[in-house]
Amino acid sequence: MRSKNEKVRVGIIGVGGIANGKHMPNLAKLPNVEMVAFCDIIRERAEQGAKKYGTPDAKVYTDYRDLIARDDIDVVHVCTPNRSHSFITIDALEAGKHVMCEKPMAKTYAEAKAMVEAAKRTGKKLTIGYQSRHRADSSYLKKIIEAGELGEIYFAKALAVRRRAVPTWGVFLDEEEQGGGPLIDIGTHALDLTLWLMNNYEWESVMGSTFKKLSQRENAANAWGPWDPKKFTVEDSAFGFIKMKNGATIILESSWALNTLQVGEAICVLCGTEGGADFFDGLRINGEKNGQLYTTKVELHHGGVAYYEGKSDDPGYLEAKRWIDAVVNDTDPVVLPEQALVVTQILEAIYTSARTGQPVYNPAVRK
């Protein structure tokens, strides 16, 4: 960045669903940001982004290498499908940009590790779009955990369970493009949230199962309309049993299609020695006080004020604001790339275990 008073100049790579739904509208709310470059392999998408959110002289590209070659861009947001997260991010870091990359960090651990190494090598910042950490409920829970109110958290469930909500746009069903189905797509949010709340990143072993039981149905009922079974090459549900070095245990459940009524996405259940917490029916804390069990439902709205201008606690807005603040003030982003790397490693271990039928051990922990 040139000077603290100048605006942060941002380029968007991949101008599809998440760029339009989260990144661009929230960056547009920040007075110290301007979006000056837009890239999509489908030119019209980049043009539409530029027209709606760009500066009057914003440029449009179909090859991301042309965008990152500019030396007047400070920050790049990578919003392409999973296959290209790693190489676009690394190229952008090498070109001197700070990078916000969408989740999942990458298709594989090796790709994600190369991203962390590139950030270290270049001294540029890298973060991943896990916006669930910025929700009012998870932020509040993080504070009370840090205050010791749950004690030692030794059992957790990381949940990303949909009954029938298979994403039918883009390339979500394509193994080659995405590296997997619900586990890597939404399980990644739930696991990130759980590890962050537990503040425990040392995993020891993983067992996993993946299923393709409902994906081959024709004309299936689905929130986003029927899918094409021939294109559905990823799993439709996946489950993991994760044991941490200190013995803590996490069960991860993820599905796009599963015959269950117990659904919930990017949430978790935490059980500690002093209390527990879950996100069913809002954030609830449970425990034992004065010889009785209690459950507290946390009220997270603002004292009866429905809305006043300037106030926003939308997680997508807070994610963008805190990220840009970290760039301007040269501080750590909320989501550290090293944390997202562990999430990627565990997800890969679940896939490997499901394929081989064997547990996967963390070589750094179990020598």
Helix (H) or strand (E) run with residue 157 in it: strand 153-161
Q: Contact at 8 Å (CB) between 63 and 42?
A: no
Q: Contact at 8 Å (CB) between 344 and 106?
A: yes
| Site track 29-68 with ligand NAD (rule: CB under 6 A), x = hit | ----------xxxx--x------------------x----
Radius of gyration of the chain (CA): 21
**Footprint on residues 129-148 left by ligand NAD (CB under 6 A):** 129, 131
Return the range that interacts with ligand NAD (CB under 6 A); candidates 2-10, 12-20, 134-142, 326-334: 12-20
Q: Work out how close the CB of 138 gets to ligand NAD at its nearest, in angstroms, rounded to a whole number.
A: 14
Q: What would the DSSP string read from start to end of 235-254?
A: -SEEEEEEEETTS-EEEEEE
Find the binder of ligand NAD among 2, 6, 17, 296 (CB under 6 A).
17
48 versus 209: smaller Cβ distance to ligand NAD: 48
Find the binder of ligand NAD among 14, 49, 181, 333 (CB under 6 A).
14
181 versus 240: smaller Cβ distance to ligand NAD: 181
Q: Six-digit token pair at 215?
A: 């994906």
Closest to 61 measured CA to CA, from 74, 82, 44:
44
- Cα–Cα distance between 335 and 332 in angstroms, integer? 8
Q: Contact at 8 Å (CB) between 250 and 244?
A: yes
Does the footprint of ligand NAD cover residue 333 (CB under 6 A)?
no
Q: Work out how close the CB of 115 gets to ligand NAD at its nearest, in angstroms, rounded to a whole number.
A: 14
| Site track 272-291 with ligand NAD (rule: CB under 6 A), x = hit | --------------------
**Footprint on residues 163-192 left by ligand NAD (CB under 6 A):** 169-170, 185
Tell me how far CA of residue 55 lies from CA of 34, 58, 94, in angstroms. Answer: 7, 5, 25
90 versus 153: smaller Cβ distance to ligand NAD: 90
Amino acid, single-letter form, for residue 339: Q
Does the footprint of ligand NAD cover residue 81 (CB under 6 A)?
yes
Helix (H) or strand (E) run with residue 336 in it: none
Find the binder of ligand NAD among 79, 115, 156, 318 (CB under 6 A).
79
The distance between the two most distant Cα atoms of the chain, rounded to a whole number of Å, is 67
Q: Contact at 8 Å (CB) between 104 and 344?
A: yes
Find the binder of ligand NAD among 80, 89, 138, 339 (CB under 6 A).
80
Find the binder of ligand NAD among 15, 100, 268, 340 (CB under 6 A).
15
What DSSP state is assigned to residue 231?
A: G
Q: Work out how close the CB of 264 gets to ligand NAD at its nearest, in angstroms, rounded to a whole number.
A: 15
* Size, binding site for ligand NAD by CB under 6 A: 24
Find the binder of ligand NAD among 12, 13, 95, 183 (CB under 6 A).
13
- Cα–Cα distance between 70 and 9 in angstroms, integer? 11
Does the footprint of ligand NAD cover residue 82 (CB under 6 A)?
yes
Residue closest to ligand NAD, measured at CB:
16
Helix (H) or strand (E) run with residue 54 in it: strand 54-61
169 versus 294: smaller Cβ distance to ligand NAD: 169
Pairing of strands 75-78, 98-101: parallel
- CB within 8 Å of 212: residues ≥ 6 apart: 232, 235, 236
Q: Work out how close the CB of 168 gets to ligand NAD at its nearest, in angstroms, rounded to a whole number.
A: 11
Q: Contact at 8 Å (CB) between 186 and 347?
A: no
- Cα–Cα distance between 234 and 182 in angstroms, integer? 8
Q: Work out how close the CB of 84 gets to ligand NAD at its nearest, in angstroms, rounded to a whole number.
A: 5
15 versus 360: smaller Cβ distance to ligand NAD: 15
> Residues interacting with ligand NAD, by CB under 6 A?
13-18, 39-42, 45, 64, 79-82, 84, 102-103, 129, 131, 169-170, 185
